[in-house]
Amino acid sequence: MPEIKRLIDIYAGRILLAKNLVTLYEAVQEFWVAERDGVILGCGALHVLWADLGEVRTVAVHPDIKGTGAGRLLVEQLIAEARELELRRLFVLTFEVDFFARHGFVEIEGTPVTAEVYAEMCRSYDTGVAEFLDLSYVKPNTLGNTRMLLTL
């Protein structure tokens, strides 16, 4: 996880939210990585939000290999994993609108869940869930980001 944190830190505060090491360890099972010669050069995570809904999180590729297809392969793997888990929709909060649009994500407004599910999700302590729900206390984290959804 320290290697993933170093990669995320390259973009923290600009494109990605900063992540504490403990937060990454708590989500270790969600991550996929791209590596070469044992060095992690890219990462991405799939977080299940609800029975039919997941979120693509923390997609990052080292600047030295940006544009080589590593990010595309990571997102394709996350989508495949979502299908294997029988999720029907994937959400992403991103600055990289064109990149995710190439994978079939479309821009959305609001939160694509019922009022009942929304109320239940408000019980989560996960900051990413709060961002998905667009709760006021995380608004500074999401300024300038675009909400996108992929139907699987």
pLDDT tens-digit readout, 99-113: 999 999 999 999 999
Residue 61, pLDDT score: 96
Q: Is residue 152 packed enough to be buried (19+ CB in 10 Å), middle (13-18) or exposed (0-12)?
A: middle
Report the pLDDT averaged over residues 32-42. 94
- Give yes or no for a contact between 109 and 148, defined as CB atoms under 8 angstroms apart: no
Residue 14, pLDDT score: 80
Amino acid letter at 78? Answer: L
pLDDT at 2 over 80: yes
CA distance 6 to 46: 19
Residue 84, pLDDT score: 98
Helix (H) or strand (E) holding 47: strand 39-50
Phi, psi of 93, deg, nearest 5: -110, 115
Calculate what percentage of the chain has a pLDDT beyond 70: 99
* Residue range 46-80, pLDDT digits in tens: 999 999 999 999 999 999 999 999 999 999 999 99
CA-closest candidate to residue 96, choices 55, 142, 59, 138: 59
Integer CA distances (angstroms), 84 to 39, 91, 99, 135, in order: 27, 16, 23, 30
pLDDT bucket at 141, cuts 50 / 70 / 90: low
Spacing of C-alpha 2 from chain mean position: 18
CA distance 63 to 11: 10
Residue 45, pLDDT score: 98
Q: Which tokens belong to 81?
A: 């994993």
Q: Which tokens belong to 142?
A: 């999401």
